[in-house]
Amino acid sequence: MSHENEIKSLVWGAVLLVLAACVPLVANGYWMSIALTIAMFTVLATSWSLFSGPTHYISLATAAFFGVGGYLVGTGMSDYNMDFWTMVAIAPVVGAVLAFLIGIATLRLSGVYFVIFTLGLAEMIRTLVSWIQNNFTGSRGLYVLTDLTEADIYIYLVILAAVVYLVGWWVNRSRLGFALRIIGNDETVARHVGINTATSKVILFTFSGFVAALVGALIAPRYTYIEPNGVFSPEISFIVVIMALLGGTGRLWGPIVGVIPFALLQEYINANYSNYSTLVMGIAFLVIVYFLPKGVVGRIEQLLASRGRSTW
Amino acid sequence: MDIIITGLLLGGTYALIAFGLNMQYGVARIMNLANGEFLVLGALAAFWIFVADSISPILTMLIVAPLAFFGNWVIYKALLMPLVRRAKNKGQLEVDSILATFGMSFALVGIMVSIHGEYFTYSYLAEPFEIVGETFALNRIVAFCFAVLIGVALWLWLFFTRPGMAMRAVSVSTEASGLVGINVQKMSALAFALGGAVTTMGGTLISTFITLDASVGVIFTMKALIIIIMGGVGDIRGAIVAALILGLVETTVARLIDPGLTLAAAYAIFVLVLLFRPQGLFGRKPT
């Protein structure tokens, strides 16, 4: 990418960001709530694809980190009388440490082990937290009472999205991003040219854990009442994977192309045919694998490329 | 003593389920995350037929097995073969098959929830039975015996027949077994179908003593995977030992600490295995 192109894309990014930040001015309650969901999944799916896109390691741990963030805010404010912002500062650090530990335990091994491990992680943390609550602390639900509105949370998430995009842009240009792409292409080759494969993967995975926990903490006031079964719902992980892959992980802005339509679809299904939400998720996975292996963005780029070649 | 026997009985059934997944992953090279849903389908069939006509789950198993065999064969041929052909390397096949079987798993859960959204509660052989002075539920013992029976039959087939030998060859190396004239694609499809049938039978057996519901399949997929990884992929002896260990640990934790922590216990084992013996209990370090 030339220097001029780069500046152009930065300007475009900034313009879109300002537009996104204006949504609360025009949106009413219902659309504000949908915009908030979209902002939340944009941050989650983009930070997910920063790690999983180049390395092809499918992480299903998003719900675990998200839940840790939300739960820490809940327990900190209800049980220990902590300030909301203090907890928001603590939560992502805990998420990052957790991701780091999981990373060093599982990322040295093949991809399958990692998927399986992350698959049950949220469920395991949920049962542990419920057990501790039932036996030691007594209370089951936790209240998060702040005077933040949905529009406030939305703005925080848009700012966070901007930070994630900047980090992603920087990683793609750095040695780290280059290393990750080589790992994704062929891990053996990467190891042989002297890349410390485990360290590179752990760094990015830790970052995605940090971001997911931060999102969980920031969005906690929206739910007011935090319950382990709610915040650790494994569905979040799957939705994030579907959205990111649907959009395409080849580009930094790919995931958001999947986030918006799928969030609207989910909203529609949940409102009208809530019994079929699982079936819809299953079909979405199958559609991605069989028809959109590189996501919508990848597909469009492919079409453009083939058209360019035929007119040549 | 009570805990040990209950744990071993549970482990026996786990071993059968893991055996099914082991065939699918070890021979057909498909990490089938929809495996647990076939288990639940087996349980659902047992529940359905038992409630409707009070036919014994053991008989149901005989109906369910060929159906599951056929169903899995079709899935392999129609949905997974294209992925095998498309994949440029092992890693890509792994990612594709994980995503595709996730899709199948969700779709199956969705369908099963719409068929029967509640618990599959029924009571079969819930009678006391005495071993060495202690009482156990007869259904657990019957399930264990049938699990052993099916396991032994499969083992004999794998080790003492020509197709069984061909299948073991494919599990060692797809390229080399192709070179010596084994039809690898046919064998993979057969292994996948057989594995699915075994897991479904395991589900029918489990449903006699554990109450399942439509969405619980993923837990059993996880347990089967933990067993396979602990035992070493493709290692039958390792998988049996691993399944018995898992059954024992889960029962011990459930009895002595809290039944809610069984999954956490399974996970703790998993982490230990990953950290210290990722090649499996009896596996050798790759050179």
**pLDDT block averages, 10 residues each, chain B of length 287:** 82 87 85 88 86 80 89 89 80 84 89 79 68 73 85 88 87 83 87 91 86 82 87 81 90 83 83 78 60
ipTM tops the 0.90 cut: no
CB-based contacts of B13, cutoff 8 Å, min separation 6: B143, B144, B147, B202, B205, B206, B247
Interchain pair B110, A279: CB under 8 A: yes
Q: How far apart are CA A157 and CA A176, in angstroms?
A: 26
Cα dist from B199 to B82, B151, B247, whole Å: 24, 11, 17
Across chain A, which has 312 residues, the per-10-residue mean pLDDT values are 67 79 77 88 91 86 91 84 84 92 81 82 83 72 77 88 88 85 82 83 91 91 80 86 87 85 88 82 88 84 76 48
Q: Does residue B159 sit within a domain?
A: yes
The per-residue pLDDT for A213 is 93
Interchain pair B218, A281: CB under 8 A: no
Question: Given B99, B114, B274, which is nearest A109 (Cβ)?
Answer: B274
Is there a contact between B229 and B282 (Cβ–Cβ < 8 Å)?
A: no
Q: Does residue B190 sit within a domain?
A: yes
Angle between helices A150-173 and A3-26 (to 10 degrees): 170
Q: Return left, alpha or beta for A196; rule: phi > 0 is left, psi -120 to 50 is alpha, else beta.
A: beta
Q: Does residue B57 sit within a domain?
A: yes
Task: Give which of A117, A92, A91, A93 is closest to A104, Cα–Cα.
Answer: A117
pTM score: 0.85
Q: What's the DSSP call for residue B233?
A: T
Tokens of B172: 């060692």
Mutation site for A-interface testing, chosen from B93, B94, B101, B106 by largest number of A Cβ within 10 Å: B106
Domain extent at residue B142: 13-216
The per-residue pLDDT for A8 is 75
Is there a contact between A61 and A121 (Cβ–Cβ < 8 Å)?
A: yes
Is there a contact between B217 and B37 (Cβ–Cβ < 8 Å)?
A: yes
The SS3 assignment for B128 reads: strand
Cα angle at A101 between B101 and A133, to 5 degrees? 85
Q: Does residue B8 sit within a domain?
A: no
- Which residues 57-96 of chain A have a CB within 8 Å of chain B? 58
Cα nearest neighbour of B110 on chain A:
A279
Burial B168-180 (b: 16+ CB within 10 A, else e): bbbbeebeebeee
**What is the least distance, in Å, from the CA of B273 to any CA of chain A?**
10
Strand partners, B136: B129
Interchain pair A134, B260: CB under 8 A: yes
Q: Does residue B261 sit within a domain?
A: no
Mutation site for B-interface testing, chosen from A279, A280, A283, A291 by largest number of B Cβ within 10 Å: A279
The per-residue pLDDT for B284 is 61
Q: Does residue B20 sit within a domain?
A: yes
- Cα B219 versus chain centre, distance: 11
Total number of domains constituting chain B:
1
Mutation site for A-interface testing, chosen from B99, B261, B273 by largest number of A Cβ within 10 Å: B99
The per-residue pLDDT for B282 is 73
Question: Given B107, B264, B278, which is nearest A279 (Cβ)?
Answer: B107
Tokens of B164: 């069984």
Cα nearest neighbour of B267 on chain A:
A124
The per-residue pLDDT for A312 is 45
Q: Does residue B170 sit within a domain?
A: yes
Tokens of B46: 């047992």
CB atoms within 10 A of CB A215: 31
Question: Given A109, A116, A282, which is nearest B106 (Cβ)?
Answer: A282
A261 shares contact with chain B (CB less than 8 Å): no
Task: Give which of A309, A138, A172, A305 is closest to A250, Cα–Cα.
Answer: A172
Interchain pair B270, A131: CB under 8 A: no
Q: Does residue B146 sit within a domain?
A: yes
Is there a contact between B137 and B127 (Cβ–Cβ < 8 Å)?
A: yes
Cα nearest neighbour of B100 on chain A:
A286
